Structure 1
Amino acid sequence: MFIVAYVFSLGVHKSQPTATYEIEDENWEKTLEGEMINRNKNKVNVETMLGEFIKETKEFERQVIRQLHILNARMKEIMENQEIFMKSKNNIATEEHNEDHLRIVQEKMAIFPIQSEIDLLKLEEVLKDSSEMKILAKELSLLGGNSVKEITRRIMFQIMSNQIGQLYSWDGQKGKKKFRELLLPKLVINAVRLNDRTQNSTESDIVKPMREWLVRAKFRQQPVPPITERSEK
């Protein structure tokens, strides 16, 4: 009797852990299944949120790009208006500068042709300033001509009267004053070389017609005798 009871008690004690393990396995599976379900739900929620975020981001990017296009268009318009304004301002300034420059040049050119030695001395003082020399030479170069001789003669007629010209020769021959010692010949040479057609002229090319002009100044100064009718025989 005692032995049967002991065996029975052993059998009971042996079967209890197995039932416990089965219960624990079942609970663990349920827990794992619950966690998987929760994870899937969380995954779905994350994917949904990510999709909404991407959608919102794309919409934001679209709006930003649209605003950038509008901003670029406005900036371009502002720059174009500014460029137009600056061109207009520069044109006005250029016109004013040109008017002032023209007025100054006209005032300087008013000294020509030289009619007296006093005027010649004043001109010599002016020509000591290289900027003044450049302005006058540029203006005289516009007189034009097809050859060195023609351009030089035009300039000489522009700057000197025959009355003053007859007082000078190039080297001071026959008791005349030396023209080559003045700054005036340099003005003529610079003016001839500023002309596109004669820019490569040598100094001797230009001096030769200056010499001839001075030699003939005396004869141009003399009055032309009147033409008399021949008497009939």
Structure 2
Amino acid sequence: MVSNYDDYNDVDLGVIDDDEDLNNMEEKLINDKPYRNAVIILLSRFVGNTLPETIRKIMQRLFTDQFLSKYSFVGFKGKHQFSTLQCCSIIYDIVRKMKKFKDTSNIDIEKPIKNWMAQATPRMKKMAEKSLQTNHDDHNSIDNNT
């Protein structure tokens, strides 16, 4: 399979939400070097003021919290291992593509990845609570308007 991603705006980069999405992305990252390079270039635009902010932006673009809640960096607590995935290694490549972070060590990149992943379940709970509150508020405003 030969791909031409001269215009990296054409990269089909969906958010990974399940194992099927992950398997498709892993296969592309392994077997399609032009695609991999295009993803790196595209996501290297997500530079933030700090390394944790930058990694948060990249992770939000690549993965849903639902997906991340099933993974931990090294596979603790019966979760799947994230650190061995191409989707993980590409984050290091993306960060180092940014001039600001080109000399960043593995451990400095790893730490915010771990932190973002560890907070996936709490973020989902917070969103669910917010959604319930919004629904409750909407219901109350309907009752008040009738």
Decide: shared fold, TM above 0.5: yes
Alignment-derived partner of residue 68 in structure 2: 165
The alpha-carbon deviation at position 221 of structure 1 amounts to 1.3
Aligned residues of 2:11 and 2:39 also touching (Cα < 8 A): no
Question: Can you list the C-alpha shifts for 1:174-200, whole angstroms capped at 9, x where unaligned?
Answer: 100000111111111100111111111
Aligned residues of 1:147 and 1:198 also touching (Cα < 8 A): no
- Aligned-CA RMSD value: 2.0
Question: Can you list the C-alpha shifts for 1:20-78, whole angstroms capped at 9, x where unaligned?
Answer: xxxxxxxxxxxxxxxxxxxxxxxxxxxxxxxxxxxxxxxxxxxxxxxxxxxxxxxxxxx
**Counterpart-to-counterpart distance in 2, 1:107 and 1:130:** 13
The count of corresponding residues between Structure 1 and Structure 2 is 127
Question: Which 4+ residue blocks in structure 1 deviate beyond 3 angstroms?
Answer: none
Q: Given residue 111 of structure 2, which amino acid in structure 1 is its aligned partner? A: K
Residue 106 (str. 1) matches residue 10 (str. 2): yes
Structure 2 residue runs without a partner (length 5+): 137-146
TM-score by length of 2: 0.79
Aligned residues of 2:71 and 2:79 also touching (Cα < 8 A): yes
Aligned match for 1:136, one of 19, 32, 39: 39
Relative contact order, higher structure (CA 8 A, sep 6+): 2
Q: Given residue 114 of structure 2, which amino acid in structure 1 is its aligned partner? A: R
Q: Given residue 127 of structure 1, which amino acid in structure 2 is its aligned partner? A: L
Aligned residues of 1:155 and 1:188 also touching (Cα < 8 A): yes
Q: Given residue 80 of structure 2, which amino acid in structure 1 is its aligned partner? A: K
Aligned residues of 2:11 and 2:35 also touching (Cα < 8 A): no
Q: Given residue 175 of structure 1, which amino acid in structure 2 is its aligned partner? A: G
Larger fraction in helix:
1
Alignment-derived partner of residue 19 in structure 2: 117
The alpha-carbon deviation at position 116 of structure 1 amounts to 1.6
Change (3 A) 1:105 1:125: farther
The alpha-carbon deviation at position 144 of structure 1 amounts to 1.6
**Counterpart-to-counterpart distance in 2, 1:130 and 1:107:** 13
The structure that has the greater radius of gyration is: 1
Aligned residues of 1:105 and 1:136 also touching (Cα < 8 A): no
Aligned residues of 2:72 and 2:79 also touching (Cα < 8 A): yes
**Counterpart-to-counterpart distance in 1, 2:17 and 2:77:** 22
**Counterpart-to-counterpart distance in 2, 1:171 and 1:108:** 28
State the secondary structure of the residue aligned to 1:190: helix
Q: Given residue 164 of structure 1, which amino acid in structure 2 is its aligned partner? A: F
**Counterpart-to-counterpart distance in 1, 2:52 and 2:102:** 13
**Counterpart-to-counterpart distance in 2, 1:218 and 1:179:** 15
The alpha-carbon deviation at position 157 of structure 1 amounts to 0.6
**Counterpart-to-counterpart distance in 1, 2:33 and 2:105:** 21
TM-score by length of 1: 0.51
Alignment-derived partner of residue 151 in structure 1: 54
**What is the identity percentage for the equivalent residue pairs of Structure 1 and Structure 2?**
26
State the secondary structure of the residue aligned to 2:103: coil
Aligned residues of 1:192 and 1:199 also touching (Cα < 8 A): yes
Q: Given residue 116 of structure 1, which amino acid in structure 2 is its aligned partner? A: D
**Counterpart-to-counterpart distance in 2, 1:190 and 1:215:** 22
